[in-house]
Amino acid sequence: MSSLAAELEAAAQIGADGGGVSRFAWSPELAQANEWLIRRLEELSLEAELDPAGNVFGRWAVGEGSAVLVGSHLDTVPRGGRYDGALGVLAALATVRVLRAEGVEPKRPLWVVSFNDEEGSRFQTGMLGSRAFCGEVDLEDWRRRGVADAMARAGVDFDQLTSARAVDGVGAYLELHIEQGPVLEQSGEDLGIVTAITGLLGFRVKLLGAANHAGTTPMDGRRDALAGASRIVLELREEARAREDMTANVGIVSVEPGGFNVIPGLAEFTIDVRSPTAEGFERAEAFVRETVKRVAAEEGLGMEMSATHRKPPVALDQGLQDALVGAAEAEGASYRLMPSGAGHDAMVLAHHVPAAMLFVPSRGGISHSPDEYTPPEQCELGARVLARAVRGLVG
3-state SS class at 170: strand
Asked if 208 and 296 touch (Cβ cutoff 8 Å), the reply is no
Q: pLDDT averaged over the chain? A: 95
Which residues is 357 bridged to in the sheet? Answer: 175
In this prediction, residue 40 has a pLDDT band, given cuts at 50, 70 and 90, of very high
pLDDT number for residue 343: 87
First to last CA, the chain: 30
199-311 in CATH: which number? 3.30.70.360
Find the Cα–Cα–Cα–Cα dihedral 329, 333, 335, 340, rounded to 10°: -110
Residues of the chain with CATH 3.40.630.10: 3-198+313-394
Instruction: Give the tens place of pLDDT for each residue, 9-29.
Output: 999 999 999 889 999 999 999
Chain segment 176-188, per-residue pLDDT in tens: 999 999 999 999 9
Q: Which residues of the chain form CATH 3.30.70.360?
A: 199-311
- In CATH terms, the fold of domain 3-198+313-394 is Aminopeptidase (3.40.630)
In tens, the pLDDT along 314-348 reads 999 999 999 999 999 999 999 999 999 888 999 99
Q: Residue 90, SS3?
A: helix
Handedness of CA 340, 346, 349, 352 (dihedral sign): negative
Average the pLDDT over 21-50 and give the result.
Answer: 97
In the three-class reduction of DSSP (H, G, I as helix; E, B as strand; rest coil), residue 358 is classed as strand
pLDDT of 124: 82
Residue 290: pLDDT band with limits 50, 70, 90: very high
- Omega into 257 within 30° of 0, i.e. cis? yes
Kindly compute the dihedral angle of the four CA atoms of residues 392, 394, 386, 180, in this order, to the nearest 10 degrees. -130
CA distance 139 to 154: 17
Strand-strand pairing, 191-197 and 253-256 = unpaired
pTM of the model: 0.86
Express each pLDDT in 233-270 by its tens digit: 999 999 999 998 899 999 999 999 999 999 999 999 99
Residue 186, pLDDT score = 96
> What mean pLDDT is predicted for residues 129-141?
94
- Cα distances (Å, whole numbers) of residue 2 to 6, 255, 370: 6, 49, 22
Q: Is the pLDDT of residue 1 over 90?
A: no
| Sequential DSSP letters for 16-60 | EETTEE---TTSHHHHHHHHHHHHHHHHTT-EEEE-TTS-EEEEE
- Which amino acid, one-letter code, is at 285? E
pLDDT tens string 190-238: 999 999 999 989 999 999 999 999 999 999 999 999 999 999 999 999 9
CA atoms of 347 and 316, how far apart (whole Å): 8
